[in-house]
Amino acid sequence: MRLQGKVAMITGAANGIGLASVKRFTEEGARVVMVDYDDKTGQQVAQTFGEQVKFYAVDVSNRQQVQEMVEDVVASFGQIDILVNNAGITRDAMLVKMTEEDFNHVLQINLNGVFNCTQTVVPYMIEKGTGKIISTSSVSGVYGNVGQTNYAATKAAIVGMTKSWAKELGRKGICVNAVAPGFTATNMVEKMPDKVKEQMSSIISLQRLGKPEDIANAYLFLASDESNYITGHVLHVDGGIMM
């Protein structure tokens, strides 16, 4: 059991990669706080895990909701050892067509959401003198992507924040890393136009989309003691899209 005795908070946990991570983390003995603004799905799936999992219907872009949740989690669980900043959205459009609203909306969730959760959880990790923070970047943030000005900006920002936090928090015993997934079979990729999806497999060395479990396993490694000497790293889990 690689996470026995740990409490992990996973955002965007009701679907896709987040949900696969709840499964992997509980299999490895963690108690998991599932965070998602999809209340209905979150409640439904949380039930299937029993008492090892508690669901919070929270929008990570809402600071007040995040603060209230973190206080409640610390009161109920006594600690937060692992934070996985996985929640994210897309609002794709070509630059010339992208509305200011879509630009700002993606920033609010993918960027401010990560800031809100990390800033609220970190004081408890500092107090304990240990912790693991994992945030989800993307191949789009590292190499850019057509139609993703807003999304790519947030995912590149996660790399910068991760490295800054690794430098700030190393002396406090906290490891801060990012995972940069490639195209992974979830609702997010399902929404892409068929024509673009068809082009995808030709650029992936392993010739297939990622599975949510592929990314969950990377989160697990970075959450476990096996990665205790790794911080400020961006782990690419993309089937070899670009090297």
Contact of 10 with 25, CB cutoff 8 Å: yes
Count the helices and strands in the chain (H runs, E runs). 10, 7
> Could you tell me which residues are beta bridge partners of residue 174?
131
Q: Which of 1, 146, 206, 242 binds ligand CAA (CB under 6 A)?
A: 146
Whole-number minimum distance, CB 16 to ligand CAA, in Å?
Answer: 10
Report which residue's Cβ sits closest to ligand CAA: 147
User: Is 40 exposed, middle or buried (CB count within 10 Å of its CB: 0-12, 13-18, 19+)?
Assistant: exposed
Q: Give Cβ neighbours of residue 181 (< 8 Å, ≥ 6 apart).
A: 17, 136, 138, 139, 210, 214, 215, 218, 237, 238
Q: Which residue, 179, 39, 62, is CA-closest to 116?
A: 62
Residue 197: CB minimum distance to ligand CAA, A: 8
Nearer to ligand NAI, 44 or 228 (CB): 44
The site string for ligand CAA over 20-59 (x = CB under 6 A, - otherwise) reads ----------------------------------------
Residue 229 designated active-site: no
Interface pick for ligand NAI out of 7, 30, 46, 60 (rule CB under 6 A): 60
What is the number of other CB atoms lying within 10 angstroms of the CB of residue 185?
A: 15
Alpha carbon distance 240, 203 (integer Å): 8
Q: Which is nearer to ligand CAA, 107 or 196 (CB)?
A: 196
Residue 186 interacting entry, from ligand NAI, ligand CAA, none, C-beta within 5 to 8 Å by type: ligand NAI
* Residues paired with residue 74 on neighbouring β-strands, in sequence order: none
Instruction: Give the residues lining the site for ligand NAI (CB under 6 A).
Output: 11-12, 14-18, 35-38, 59-61, 86-89, 109, 113, 136, 138, 181, 183-184, 186-189
Instruction: Give the residues lining the site for ligand CAA (CB under 6 A).
Output: 90, 92-94, 97, 138-140, 145-148, 151, 183, 188-189, 192-193, 195-196
